[in-house]
Chain A
Amino acid sequence: MSVQAPDRELDRLEGLWADGLSESYRSYLEAVSDYEADAQPKLALAAALIEAGVRLQGLGGRAAPAPTLLMGDLCLARASRLLADAASLAVQVAFARAIEGLSAAAASGSPSRPVRELLLNAFTATA
């Protein structure tokens, strides 16, 4: 089954769609089926963008070259805006805390739980 994210949300990031973003988006869509229909694509795309963003940046591994880092930054920023549009406060906070945990672990050289596991868990946050 093919899935499509809103074009506007992929501005400047179009190349990522074929590079694994569509697959992770589809996976997250399944995880947000309990949310309102309008919110589901935004929430799934936000999670997929965070996953793509930290991978592009090389967070926790070898630092990405500057242009790739900036793409990763844009992924995180867009995800943040999508969450602001569509997620409850509890979910927004849970996503932010997931990134805080990932980056704190990366800074200290400690292992971290897989990104997808952290983000799927963030969807379950309630106030």
Chain B
Amino acid sequence: MISGRLRFESSHATEFVDITKRLRDAVQESGLRTGRVYLQSLHTTLGLAINENEPLLLRDFQHLLERLAPGDAGYEHDDFERRFEISVDEPVNGHAHCRQLLLTGFATLLVEDGKLVLGRWQSVFAVELDGPRHRQVAMQMDGAFSPPHQPLGSPRRRRGSGQSAGWGDTSDGSREARLVEAELMRQLMVDPDPVAAPMRRLMEAGGKRLRPKLVQLTSQIGPRHDPLRAAELAAAVELLHNATLIHDDYVDESTYRRGRPTVAAEEGAERAIAVGDYYFAKATRLIAEIGINGVTSTMAQAIEAICASQIDDVALRGAFPGDHDSYLRVVRGKTAALFAAACASGALLSEAPSEVVEALRRYGDLLGVAFQMADDMVDFSPSSGKPVGLDIRQRVLSLPLIYAAEDREVGTEVRRLLSGALGDKEVGRVVELVTSSEALRRVGDEARGLVDAALRELESVELDGLRPTLVSLARSAVDRES
């Protein structure tokens, strides 16, 4: 038996959140060959449904629910004078409870040959009835398991423990991935609780651990491969990355990350700043203690590039959505700098030749930009598990938006909408316009082109058999939503 939680944020009052892909991925990761997946909504205003993901049909369902339990019908549940022990933020949502009664809060799905048994037109929806909110669906899998296949980007699940493993992606379940997780746990264990607890929660919520993977892979290229030292550097890089995320979330006023409240939202801005600073300092110390000047300098330059580009990023929000050149400049610092530094520092750790270090640095830089482009596309994917249009709401630099704003068909309307206040209606319309334009295809093509360029950087250097892994990692970083 494997247990876990599907966490997501809804973005509308009523919303059909398609969770089919996440369920398929979870089944694949678990190694369940034949059996059942049990789902249970953990909320009284969140239903579950299996039906067709056809936008007009979903609107029909929404209208049906509105007719059967209208929002303005007057519900005794909303008469707070007659209720006891209500909280100060009790919502007026009798209609949402009644609508949930018309749906179901449970679902059992069959698994055969390692795949969900679904008809051609069937999708699984979590049906938000009182959003936007942070939501959870409990999930259990039962049946016959084979040794698990865990592709890149998947959260590791612990068998038989009754709960999902807390830490992030250990991808192939490799010794290297486990070493990083152990090192992260070890580091957090010795830290004072006021800083360690928030960081632990962030780490437990998952994450792709791409940067540590890059460190560990590239640390195998030179003649001095030391897995323990590589794991120490990889863990420090991951701590550094998460420290930057904690400050980013405060700057972006984000309330959720990886399906959980951000440190700033949960603990306050003051604590978030302190936790970010603590792990920034600790990560730089751990990197320095490795004792290789080239590694220390490489990482220090990357940190500086990240911070400088964050300033540019915020400044550019005044000219939202910005242009391609500005986008590349910011992304090179904000995302690609740490990818490049992770690749170069792993290689430096192993004493790889300088031409290999530089080739890997360029590979990391191009991969980082491509990764960010793919990440931008996730904002328009209803199956990603993240609220659609969050980047638009937060006016975050995004290449699909830049391309949509340039589009001959939809550009004028996109620019007009983005220049005004962005409520649910406007964000929804922008998403429609972007998805109906060529913007996402252009971004996808550009990201794949960058991955091809990144791989070309590796053609002329000896990689000691690691080329297929670096190729696979690069492809998966971009094609995760395709």
Contacts and interface: CB of A to CB of B under 8 A. Distances in A.
Contact of B289 (A61, A78, A93): A93
A42 B211 CA distance: 30
A71 B247 CA distance: 12
Contacts of A78: 304, 307
A71 B311 contact: yes
A12 B311 CA distance: 9
A76 B195 CA distance: 18
A70 B274 contact: no
Given A69-B247, A77-B307, A89-B289, A54 B301 contact: no
Interface stretch (A19-27, A33-41, A99-107): A99-107
Interface string B192-212: 101100000000000000000
Nearest to A106: B274
B311 A70 contact: yes
Which of A67, A80, A85, A92 has the most chain B CB atoms inside 10 A of its CB? A80
B6 interface: no
A74 interface: yes
A65 to B, nearest CB: 9
* Chain B: interface size category: 35 or more
Contact of A103 (B251, B278, B308, B310): B278
A52 B37 CA distance: 55
Interface residues of A, number: 40
Q: Which of B194, B281, B282, B314 has the most CB of A within 10 A?
A: B281
Nearest to A102: B277
B119 to A, nearest CB: 48
Nearest to A105: B274
B300 interface: yes
Contacts of B194: 104, 107-108
Contacts of A70: 247, 251, 307, 310-311, 314
A6 to B, nearest CB: 14
Given A63-B273, A74-B307, A107-B271, A100 B278 contact: yes
Contact of A84 (B195, B270, B282, B297): B297
The dominant DSSP class at the B interface is: helix
Given A57-B277, A59-B277, A104 B311 contact: no
A108 B192 contact: yes
Contacts of B255: none
Contacts, number: 130
Interface string B261-304: 00000001111111111101110110011010100110111011
A115 to B, nearest CB: 12
Given A74-B304, A77-B307, A93-B288, A107 B275 contact: yes
A103 B301 CA distance: 22
Contact of B304 (A61, A80, A102, A103): A80
B352 interface: no
A66 B250 contact: yes
Given A67-B314, A84-B288, A93-B285, A59 B304 contact: no
A55 to B, nearest CB: 12
B307 A73 contact: yes
Interface string A95-125: 0111110111011100000000000000000
Query: Which interface residue of A63, A67, A108 has the most chain B CB atoms within 10 A?
Result: A63
A107 B195 contact: yes
A61 B277 CA distance: 14
Given A63-B270, A77-B308, 18 more contacts: A57-B273, A62-B270, A67-B314, A69-B251, A70-B307, A70-B314, A73-B310, A84-B288, A84-B299, A89-B288, A99-B280, A99-B281, A100-B278, A100-B285, A104-B191, A104-B194, A104-B195, A107-B194
19 contacts: A57-B273, A60-B274, A70-B307, A73-B276, A73-B307, A76-B281, A77-B306, A78-B307, A83-B300, A84-B297, A84-B300, A92-B296, A93-B289, A96-B285, A96-B288, A99-B280, A100-B278, A100-B281, A104-B191
Interface of A: 11-12, 54, 57-64, 66-67, 69-71, 73-74, 76-78, 80-81, 83-85, 89, 92-93, 96-100, 102-104, 106-108
